[in-house]
Amino acid sequence: MVRSDHGALNRAVRASLFADGQGSGSQGSDSQGFRHLHVIRFQETDAAGVMYFANLLTLCHEAYEVALAAAGFDITHFFSRENAVAVPIVHTEADFYRPMHCGETVAIYPRATQLSAHSFEICYKIYAVSSQIAETDPSEPADVELADADIELADIAPAHKSQAHKRRDPRGIAKALTRHVCINSATRQRQPLTPELKRWIESLSEPTAAND
């Protein structure tokens, strides 16, 4: 497994391996499975003060990388030319339900589905964890309820704990999808997914009790 030494952000990554500090018996897609937390940075925003649209895919790929590392993949090797297989992205799409602002903490939930013997897709659902926008606009719902065991948000961003019990928008704030094809790195021809990738995809599959 690849480990990082980035202090508070590393603690956030480790905390993202658990959803809401609860077990698999929790209800809803926001309380099961893998989750990655991310603080929207100034450099990720545009002149309008919101996250630049293309950076949503960067954010999702970050969650993808962390999910691979959490499963034990050596991502330095995984994304290198020395790896005998590659899984390039061949299709992407995204929907935005509201803007994301600098300093806002979001939770990304990747859910993987095997499409064929050599392809899979990952659907990413993005929910707000903390938002100054929500504080100034009472009609703006916070999307994720945090448990105390999840993460100390003060380590990575100002905590807005008053948002934790607000009404949840089931759509979240955005969603995205990436479709991947497994190929031989040398020949660039399609090949079957490796057993390790199949197990990883299964581990990130949509929980049966999840709500859309």
Percent of the chain at pLDDT exceeding 90: 61
Q: How far apart are CA 106 and CA 88, in angstroms?
A: 26
Domain boundaries, the chain: 8-203
Q: How confident is residue 32, by pLDDT bands cut at 50, 70 and 90?
A: low
Structure tokens at 57: 């895919």
Task: Yes or no: say if 179 and 104 are a contact pair by the CB < 8 Å rule.
Answer: no
Cα 127 to Cα 124: distance, rounded to the nearest angstrom:
10
Check residues 197 and 166 and name the one with the higher pLDDT. 197
- Ramachandran category for residue 153: left, alpha or beta (phi over 0 → left; psi -120 to 50 → alpha): alpha
Please name every residue paired with 130 in a beta bridge, in sequence order, or none if there are none.
105
Q: Across all residues in the chain, what is the average pLDDT?
A: 75
- Number of Cα atoms under 13 Å in the Cβ half of residue 114: 16
**pLDDT at position 146, please?**
41
| Residues 174 and 100: beta-carbon distance below 8 Å | yes
Superfamily per CATH, domain 8-203: Hotdog Thioesterase (3.10.129.10)
More confident residue, 86 or 162: 86
For residues 177 and 168, give the distance between their C-alpha atoms in angstroms, rounded to a whole number: 22
Catalytic residues: 46
Lowest mean pLDDT among 80-94, 107-121, 198-212: 198-212
Residue type, 97: Y
Q: Of 156 and 85, which is predicted with more confidence?
A: 85
138 forms beta bridges with none
The pLDDT-based confidence of 207 (bands split at 50, 70, 90) is low
Q: What's the rounded Cα separation, in Å, for the pair 37 and 90?
A: 25
Q: At 130, list the tokens.
A: 């903390």
The predicted model gives 185-203 an average pLDDT of 97
Q: Which residue has the tokens 């899984």?
A: 87
pLDDT at residue number 41: 96
pLDDT at 167: 54
Is beta strand 36-39 parallel, antiparallel or unpaired with respect to 174-181?
unpaired
